[in-house]
A = this chain, B = another copy of it.
Amino acid sequence: MLNKDELDRVIVVLVAARNPLNIGAAARAMSNFGFLRLRAVNRYEVVFREARSAIGAAELLQNAEECAGVAEAIADCSLVVGTTAVGSRQIEHPVHRLEEGGELIRAHLGSGTSARVVLLFGSEKRGLSNDDLSYCHWLMRIPTREEHISMNLGQAVAVCLYELARGEAVPVVANDPAQATAAELGRMESALLGALHASGYIKPGTEAATEEKARRLIRRMRLSSEDAETWTGMLAKMQLKRRGERAFQRR
């Protein structure tokens, strides 16, 4: 079982959930299993307000944070895990079965007291978009049968949190370096894209694809805070250097 501190370092993020009943159900399951930190990325403010009546989870919903985008919702976290039904869509990420995913998450929580994990859930209709997925380190799949893979949002949250709470916690190892947060990786990503732009690596029309590719690439590296900062500094320098050179060439 996870202790209070570990539970507090897990954040559930609902992206574009539309049905207030589902948001309420997700909040109730969170409260059942002791995960009290909910964030919602949602343009439909009213939907979220309507959900505030979920049985037994009023306080949790009251404390829920509304975020403008995924980047904001995950900024202070060092591991971002997406949930997916893995349909026909081509998946570019490593996908773990829920049970294995739960072990990895508990191990991450045990890697240091500043390690924070986001569980990202998509909308009822479409799940997570490719853009949402590009913020994830890896994905987790609930083992449903092939004939009917798509789960109800509230039930998917319940099953994931049950599995996460069920297993043995991993004791915190103090000497692991702190993992980079999503905000730190975001800065590195900006620096990388800047350097790629400056170098002419990015062809016109491929900006969006390259951006997603870069985001996934960086998340696969599992950088410490310190290493992400080093990279960011190096890439920022390259960007400036290339700009200087090109300015020089043009003259």
Indicate if the CB atoms of A32 and B149 lie closer than 8 Å.
yes
Query: Which segment, of A104-112, A151-159, A192-200, A218-226, faces chain B?
Result: A151-159
A211 beta carbon closer than 8 Å to chain B: no
The residue of chain B having its C-beta at the shortest distance from the C-beta of A21 within the complex is B21
- A159: chain B residues at CB < 8 Å are 158-159, 162
A20 beta carbon closer than 8 Å to chain B: no
Per-residue contact bits, chain A 143-154, to B (CB 8 Å; 1 contact, 0 not):
111011111101
A-B residue pairs, 9 tightest by C-beta: A155-B158, A32-B144, A34-B145, A31-B148, A159-B162, A56-B148, A29-B155, A32-B151, A32-B148
- A151: chain B residues at CB < 8 Å are 28-29, 32, 158
- A1: chain B residues at CB < 8 Å are 143
Q: Which residues of A23-77 have CB atoms within 8 Å of chain B's CB atoms? A: 25, 28-29, 31-34, 55-57
A142 beta carbon closer than 8 Å to chain B: yes
The residue of chain B having its C-beta at the shortest distance from the C-beta of A158 within the complex is B155
Indicate if the CB atoms of B33 and A155 lie closer than 8 Å.
no
Q: Can you list 17 A-B pairs with a CB-CB distance of less than 8 A? A: A25-B154, A25-B155, A28-B151, A31-B145, A31-B147, A32-B142, A32-B148, A32-B149, A32-B151, A33-B144, A57-B148, A99-B166, A143-B165, A152-B158, A158-B159, A159-B162, A162-B162
Whether A152 contacts B28 in the complex (CB less than 8 A), given A159-B158, A159-B159, A166-B143, comes out as yes
How far is the CB of A165 from the nearest CB of chain B, in Å?
7
Whether A29 contacts B99 in the complex (CB less than 8 A), given A159-B158, A159-B159, comes out as no
The residue of chain B having its C-beta at the shortest distance from the C-beta of A154 within the complex is B155
Q: Bound state CA distance, A152 and B29, in angstroms?
A: 8
The residue of chain B having its C-beta at the shortest distance from the C-beta of A30 within the complex is B148
The residue of chain B having its C-beta at the shortest distance from the C-beta of A155 within the complex is B158
